[in-house]
Amino acid sequence: MTGRIPPTSPVRAEHGADYQCTGYVLHPRKNNKETNPIMTSSLITRPESAGDVAIIRDINLAAFPTPHEADLIEALRADPQAWLPGLSWLAEAPGGELAGYALLTRCHVGDSPALALGPCAVKPEHQRRGAGSAAIRAALQAAREQGENLVVVLGHAEYYPRFGFTPASGFGIRPPFDVEDKYMMALALDPERPVPSGVIRYAAAFGV
């Protein structure tokens, strides 16, 4: 298998390189995540609100070459077993434009609950300015505050380790499809808690 995950994969890996979803390290502060934004450097992050559905779709349509990710988010939002309040996050660029997005939804490893990270997206004109990193860090912090622990991601092997992700195989976690080991990663938000092992079971919207 080559170093690229096919675009038919349930979660694209390419956006870390092709869409340059990178940036400086940002550390979200604890806040009331239901109502209050987080300011990190010149970026503000906040959870999705009812009026953000259209802009979230626009961000993903702009970031990716097909509507796959935008449609996936809508399907996940419609699934009460997958969608978790407070784990869909936006990053606001200087000037107020919503530029970055990150989503965590319910999955399982074996029979144990976990979270799947993605889709994550940044508008092309705001890439390489930290909006993607800010949204991801804020989503992970919100998950930590909600008592979640295990997060899995299928993504670019040079991008996600900056958030603490390492190959999922090191935890005894396997995807339900064939993919090069370095692309399937996992993160324990609380290293003191046990981490389940087994096969990842994604929400139905992922189609795997």
Q: What is the pLDDT of residue 41?
A: 53
Q: What is the pLDDT of residue 185?
A: 98
Give the pLDDT mean for 199-205.
98
Q: What is the pLDDT of residue 19?
A: 32
Domain of 41 in residue numbering reads as: 14-23+37-206
Confidence grade of residue 175 (pLDDT, cut at 50, 70, 90): very high
Q: What's the count of helices (H) and strands (E) in the chain, helices before strands?
A: 3, 10
Q: Is residue 31 part of a domain?
A: no
- The residue type of 72 is L
Q: Is residue 5 part of a domain?
A: no
Q: pLDDT tens for residues 102-158? A: 999 999 999 999 999 999 999 999 998 999 999 999 999 999 999 999 999 999 999
Q: Is residue 157 part of a domain?
A: yes
Q: What is the pLDDT of residue 120?
A: 97
| Residue partners of 172: CB distance under 8 A and separation at least 6 | 197, 198
C-alpha dihedral sign at 15, 16, 18, 22? positive
| Residue partners of 205: CB distance under 8 A and separation at least 6 | 72, 75, 76, 79, 82
Q: Is residue 3 part of a domain?
A: no
Buried b (16+ CB within 10 A) or exposed e, 91-105: bbbeeeebbbbbbbb
How many domains in the chain? 1
Q: Is residue 1 part of a domain?
A: no
Q: What is the pLDDT of residue 39?
A: 46
Strand 88-92 relative to strand 38-40: parallel, antiparallel, unpaired? unpaired
Confidence grade of residue 96 (pLDDT, cut at 50, 70, 90): confident
Q: pLDDT tens for residues 47-85? A: 999 999 999 999 999 999 999 999 999 999 999 999 999
Q: Cα dihedral angle (118, 99, 28, 19), rounded to 10 degrees?
A: 50
Q: Is residue 6 part of a domain?
A: no
CB of 25 closer than 8 Å to CB of 164? no
Global pTM value = 0.81
Q: Name the least confident of 15-24, 36-45, 167-176.
A: 15-24
What CATH number does the domain containing 59 carry? 3.40.630.30
Q: What is the pLDDT of residue 28?
A: 35
> Rounded CA gap, 34 and 48, in Å?
9
On the CB side of 162, how many CA atoms lie within 13 Å of its CA? 18
Closest listed residue to residue 154, CA positions, set 5, 21, 2, 22: 5
| High-pLDDT (> 90) share of the chain, % | 76
